[in-house]
Chain A
Amino acid sequence: MSGDSAASAPGRSSGARPERPVGRRTPGSRFARLLEGGLLQGGVQGSPVLRLLLRWVRRPLLPVMRLWRRNIQLKVVVTTLLMSLGVVLLLGFVVIGQVRNGLLDAKVKASQSQATGGFAVAKQKADEAAGAAAADGTPADGGASQNVIEWMSELVLSLSSGGQGAFDVVTLPPGDVSGVARGPRASGFVDPDKSVPEKLREQVYSSTGAAQSYSRIIYLNDKESQPALVIGKQVNDPNGDPYELYYLFPLTQEEKSLSLVKGTLATAGLFVVVLLGAIAWLVVRQVVTPVRMAAGIAERLSAGRLQERMKVTGEDDIARLGEAFNKMAQNLQLKIQQLEDLSRMQRRFVSDVSHELRTPLTTVRMAADVIHDARVDFDPITARSAELLADQLDRFETLLADLLEISRFDAGAAALEAEPIDLREVVRRVVSGAAPLAERKGTTVRVIGDQQPVVAEADARRVERVLRNLVVNAVEHGEGKDVIVKLAAAGGAVAIAVRDYGVGLKPGEATRVFSRFWRADPARARTTGGTGLGLSIALEDARLHGGWLQAWGEPGGGSQFRLTLPRTADEPLRGSPIPLEPKDSRRNRGALDEAGLPRGGGQKSATVPMQPAGEQLSAARSQLTPRMGTSAPTADPTALPGNGARVVPRPAPGTGSGGSGGGRGEDEPRAVGAAGAAGTGGAAGEAGAGRDEHPERTEAAGTGDVPGLGDAADTGDTRETALRGTSDRHRAGAEGSNEQGEAFRGR
């Protein structure tokens, strides 16, 4: 856990946690907890030490891995190198093996014939010496053995002098020394005992024929030992005593030939591998360069520079690709141009229509006022018609004004007149303005976080319009329950959230509420006021400030609209001081309950949880500052800001400390815009339906969800809106103080 807090949100944990563990756990267990946390976290991959080591090893490799993933040229070249290396190695082994066998065969044959000749010579010499001794008439007993010592030395000398360096001769006493045995003799500084293998000696001793074996000649002088073929046979000396005669043929020459082949193969193989690598590099380069160019052009196209084109040379496949690509880009550009033109035309049309309608409307209005003023003189049916006329004219005027406003935004004519204002004033004005409506609905509007000034550079008129819209909406859809307006400021942002506990929003509706003329149920007739453009205008107002307007809601759990504005007009937003999803949402409460963590019973069941605003605010202030400084929340690129519902929870908990807004400041406005665009599209699709969203919401609440269905939607929503802060909190453990800090988690 400590690891988690260190990795994800040190600022938050330091502010919210300190007193908790002391109260709940024994002080001695802190280390154990640390250890447990480390082990728990490393449970997937092993001990923390191992993980640390892995990370340490992986860190320098990461750029390489990244290069590997991104660079097709590198992939192809490396694969080619590896494969050619494998082929060369295989080929080398086969060739060397064959050369070795061939060399050995030749050597063995030559050696065998030489050794056989040598054995014959030895036998012949022994016979000659024996014959000479017999001719001399020396007594057979003692005399016959007289010359063997010298005879054998001379034999070895004469045999070995035949092959200077080509072979060496060794005599050894027979394996079973029973009779008179001569000591070992060796020519050419050969160590006889070590050079002749024991198994060969056994074989020679046990059989009458010659035997051969491979061995290593060990020399008594400084000469290096070398591999050799040893051929041996048991022969008799002039006295008829057996001895073993060995021919040792060094394989020096063969080894030299083999190493020559090896060297040649290695050099050739190296050349081949390098050459293949270079060829692969060149070939891939020829293919990859245009592909990279195309990728670059495509990126620029996707960034909106529609006039970018590929350079096309030649007639090959790449050129065809380029041509097709260029055609595609051309068509795209054309279509987009057409669409833009169409859209511009539509906007102008709307604007013109609104203007043109105004003049006759004024006349009609004046006429209608006259009729209305004189209604008492009419019969009841006509009087009722006059009233209806006046009412509908009011709506018509409002609608027309809204249309004008919208078309102003669309034309880019809206100008921001920003000045530092205290938002509390605005809120107070709005709340008091909405008081009659609230009273009528039986709703209490409460303001939280207005103990301290919440100052921002903003256009008071527009902010007030936005807020009025939100508050009136909340009151209208609040079903008589409390509406809470929450103010907060932290970092470079101020936020105002309007929370109601009405019917709420279905999944997916959080974005659509900002669409023009959007409504959930087109069949339902509009009974209450509102033009269906209020939220659209509010969104445009927020965007004009460089701020966000976002909605959250759950079916049956109410909704919350949050306006986030930068403290100064030109400052980009990074986060919001108020989480989009209120902490008393069903999901949050449900998660806490599931975690089985202790909480007050009142809090569990409370439908309108309330937190002391002052504490919250001070806590938020103290936590936000370090947090903003240390770790800017990393936004999921897939998250569409302005739509908290779409923030997809990240699998890695360590990075999931992002705000409830789920995105970085720079991403959000764009996405809001996108939402707005979608809204426009939606409006286009449902043009003429002319209904507000609000009745649809109430209807949704009215029809009510089947509980099971509602639950399913709820869980789905929960999954969708799973915010990182929430998942953090799972691990952190929900405790009393955590509940308090939770409100600021999104920052």
Chain B
Amino acid sequence: MGAEWREGGTRRTPGRAVAYATCGVVLLAGCASMPDSGDLRGVESTPRQDTQVRVFAMPPRDDAQPLEIVQGFLEALTSDDPGYATARQYLTEKAAQKWEPERSTTVLTDGPATDAGPTGTRDDADDYSYTLTGTRVATVDAQQSYAPASGEYGQVVHLSRDKKNGQWRIDALPQGVVMGKSDFQRNYVSVNKYYFASNTTADGSDGSRQPMAVADPVYVRERVDPMTQMVRSVLTGPTSWLRPVVRSSFPTGTALPKGVTALTPDDQNKLTVPLNDKAVHIGQGKCDEMAAQLLFSLRSLTPAVDEIALRAGGTQLCSLTEERAAAVAARGSETNPGYLYFIDGQHRLERMTSGSGNTKADPVPGALGDGAKALRSVAVSRDEHSAAGVALDGKALYVTSTVSGSSIGDPVLQSKGKTETDRLTTPSWDTQGDLWVADRDPAAPRLLLLEKGAGQPLEVLTPGLDGRINAVRVAADGVRIALIVDKGGKQSLFIGRIERGQGNAEQASVSLQELRSATPELEQVTAMSWAGDSRLVVVGREAGGVQQVQYMQCDGSVPEAGTLPGLTEVTSIAASEDSEIPLFATSKEGLLWLPGGSGWRTLKETASAAFYPG
């Protein structure tokens, strides 16, 4: 017995050793081969670094020919030279003093061509001139505001031979700089400056009225200390187009103190902005607004700024973090819509939770959702408590609540148009709860404003409007309005400025001022929606092209990566100011959406209009 035990014991020991050795070998083998399971973790997306091409300006060569001088000068304009110091070396001293490159930037399709001018055809002459020619695309004015332009460009550059050293230099040239479109896109970047709407406020989270931030898009040179440029630009004030309806919290005359050359955020992404003496006696609230303006503006340039601190007179006035900025001022892109609304195949208003990817649709509570009235188009107010619906025939506009059990009531507006397309457009709510709608009656085309969605419609003055309004969309900031204007069969997008005059006590006068074309190259704009503080998503067709969906800046420029996946016969498009929320569109295919930018996907077979609140 005992012997057996002992035998068993001795036999077990090598067995165990073998087991241990096997375990060790398996472990080692695990280390020596690639893992095929486990280690689950999230992947941080590394930002795709774009291949930026830089042009390095060269000073003029000795004994360079006139053509070389002109070419070198034009090339120097496309470089990142901060003050165009190299470009100035191509100029005579006098011309260099007079030349103001900041005055304007002219963008040509293909860059300026140089044609030998009328004088100086002889080689031995002491003066020479070239004409810079090209097709204009846009101009950026001294306020850095972009404006689409068209037409031929033709400016004369005159060269003369320096008497002393015999070198050719430019002695007469147009102000500003000129460059090709691709150079412009390479060198400049569109950023939003933020100001506050003069007479529009938004409901703050704590019930108080917050100032509404209005984006003012400008172009800055991307690689010439854009942050400081941006701060200077914000301090200078809004561009002239927006100036009548916005205010800046910075006291007039506020600027960076002399000697400040470059601003860079510190390790904690905090940017300290020194201000001159004008800003010394500023209240805390005002200072927060100032900081919010700068913070919003700089974050549109780079997300690497989380906090703004303002200093003046040697003391810190205030400091504002990104989290607190939301409590200081409201911004269109910060207000998330609760639902996406659409009109289904039975002409009822339905809604889906926005942004969650949940595609389950419910009828909207209230009169519009129960199918009692067939609807053509609807607008839901920004607080999502009321909705305005246009009947299927387009004749009548109803305003009702989205509370269940509400009745549809009487129409608040009726159109006298003869056909469906000559009647009421899709209405639009602004932040103050006023309802905008256009009547397309060819006999009396007009833009109407219903204060709080009720009462007597107020006809909005539209000076300078040429054509019939086909669609209306008020921006979240309440000071800009996007219109599709139909003129002679061409539909184009216009951006207007809403000015609320004082008028008399009962009847405030509201007008749209300085309408400007945002899509000069598009012929058939069928649908549009605001898709950011200064960005719209537009469905349109270029002359001789096909319909496409693209982003547009409200100043008319096309942002980089502006084009979206193509879609045909779009009847409506829904976009939110918050760029995180997906796009929806309706077409023949029904209701479609664009999750993550990969391509359009069909959600519902039949739907006629999709929209977010507003």
Q: Footprint of B on A, CB under 8 Å?
A: 138, 141-143, 145-150, 153-154, 156-157, 160-161, 164-165, 168, 173, 177, 179-189, 192-193, 220
Contacts and interface: CB of A to CB of B under 8 A. Distances in A.
A145 B183 CA distance: 16
29 contacts: A138-B113, A142-B67, A142-B113, A142-B115, A143-B113, A145-B67, A146-B112, A147-B110, A147-B113, A149-B71, A150-B110, A150-B111, A153-B182, A160-B53, A161-B51, A168-B51, A173-B58, A179-B68, A180-B67, A180-B68, A183-B55, A183-B76, A183-B79, A186-B56, A187-B52, A188-B49, A189-B52, A192-B56, A220-B54
Contacts of A164: 48-49, 51
A145 B52 contact: no
Contacts of A173: 58
B104 interface: no
B186 interface: yes
Given A142-B114, A149-B111, A165-B49, A185 B56 contact: yes
A165 B52 CA distance: 11
B52 A188 contact: yes
Contacts of B56: 183-186, 192-193
B183 A150 contact: yes
A142 B113 CA distance: 8
Contacts of B72: 183
A177 B67 CA distance: 14
Contacts of B61: 177, 181
Pick the 10 closest A-B CB pairs, nearest first: A146-B113, A150-B111, A150-B180, A184-B56, A183-B58, A160-B51, A156-B53, A157-B53, A187-B51, A149-B75
B114 A146 contact: yes
B494 interface: no
Given A145-B114, A181-B61, 13 more contacts: A138-B113, A142-B115, A149-B75, A149-B78, A150-B78, A150-B111, A153-B53, A153-B186, A157-B53, A177-B61, A180-B65, A183-B58, A183-B75
B136 to A, nearest CB: 15
Given A150-B180, A185-B56, A188-B52, A157 B186 contact: yes
Contacts of A160: 51, 53
Interface in B41-84: 48-49, 51-58, 61, 65, 67-68, 71-72, 74-76, 78-79
Contacts of A145: 67, 71, 114
Contacts, number: 99
Contacts of B74: 149
Contacts of A168: 51
A153 B51 contact: no
* Residue of B49, B67, B71 contacting most chain A CB atoms (<10 Å): B71
B116 interface: yes
A182 B75 contact: yes
Contacts of A153: 53, 55, 78, 182-183, 186
Interface residues of B, number: 34
A189 B50 CA distance: 11
B58 A181 contact: yes
B498 to A, nearest CB: 40
A224 B264 CA distance: 20
Nearest to B58: A183
A145 B55 CA distance: 17
A185 B49 contact: no
Contact of B111 (A147, A184, A188): A147
B339 interface: no
B114 A185 contact: no
Nearest to B68: A180
B58 A184 contact: yes
A186 B54 CA distance: 5
A142 B186 CA distance: 25
B67 A154 contact: no
Nearest to B112: A146
Contacts of B116: 141-142
B130 interface: yes
B147 to A, nearest CB: 22
B89 to A, nearest CB: 12
A149 B183 CA distance: 9
Contacts of B58: 173, 181, 183-184
Nearest to B80: A220
Nearest to A139: B115
Contacts of A183: 55-58, 72, 75-76, 79
Contacts of A143: 113-115
Nearest to B79: A183
B117 to A, nearest CB: 10
Contacts of B186: 153, 157
Contact of B54 (A149, A177, A182, A185): A185
A164 B47 CA distance: 12
A185 B53 contact: yes
A187 B54 contact: yes
A641 B68 CA distance: 109
A184 B180 CA distance: 18
B9 to A, nearest CB: 27
Contacts of B76: 183
A245 to B, nearest CB: 13
B71 to A, nearest CB: 6
Given A149-B71, A164-B51, A154 B182 contact: yes
Nearest to A192: B56
A185 B75 CA distance: 11
A718 to B, nearest CB: 77
A157 B187 CA distance: 13
Interface in B121-159: 130
Interface in B181-233: 182-183, 186
B282 to A, nearest CB: 35
A173 B57 CA distance: 11
B54 A189 contact: yes
A192 B51 CA distance: 15
A185 B55 CA distance: 4
A267 to B, nearest CB: 14
Nearest to A188: B51
Contacts of B52: 187-189
A142 B115 CA distance: 6
Contacts of A180: 65, 67-68, 71
Nearest to B130: A142
Contacts of B48: 164
Contacts of A146: 110-114
Interface in B68-112: 68, 71-72, 74-76, 78-79, 110-112
A666 B557 CA distance: 110
Contacts of A185: 53-56
Contacts of A142: 67, 113-116, 130
Nearest to A145: B71
Of listed A138, A165, A183, residue having the most chain B CB within 10 A:
A183
Nearest to A178: B61
Contacts of A187: 51-54
A141 B180 CA distance: 20
A193 B58 CA distance: 12
Contacts of B67: 142, 145, 180
The listed residue with most A CB atoms (<10 A of its CB), out of B48, B57, B114, is B114
A330 B57 CA distance: 101
Contacts of B114: 142-143, 145-146
A186 B48 CA distance: 18
A160 B130 CA distance: 33
B157 to A, nearest CB: 12
A536 B54 CA distance: 112
Contacts of B55: 153, 183-185
A469 B110 CA distance: 135
Contacts of A177: 61
A154 B51 CA distance: 11
A200 to B, nearest CB: 18
A220 B53 CA distance: 12
B81 to A, nearest CB: 10
A604 to B, nearest CB: 92
A197 B112 CA distance: 33
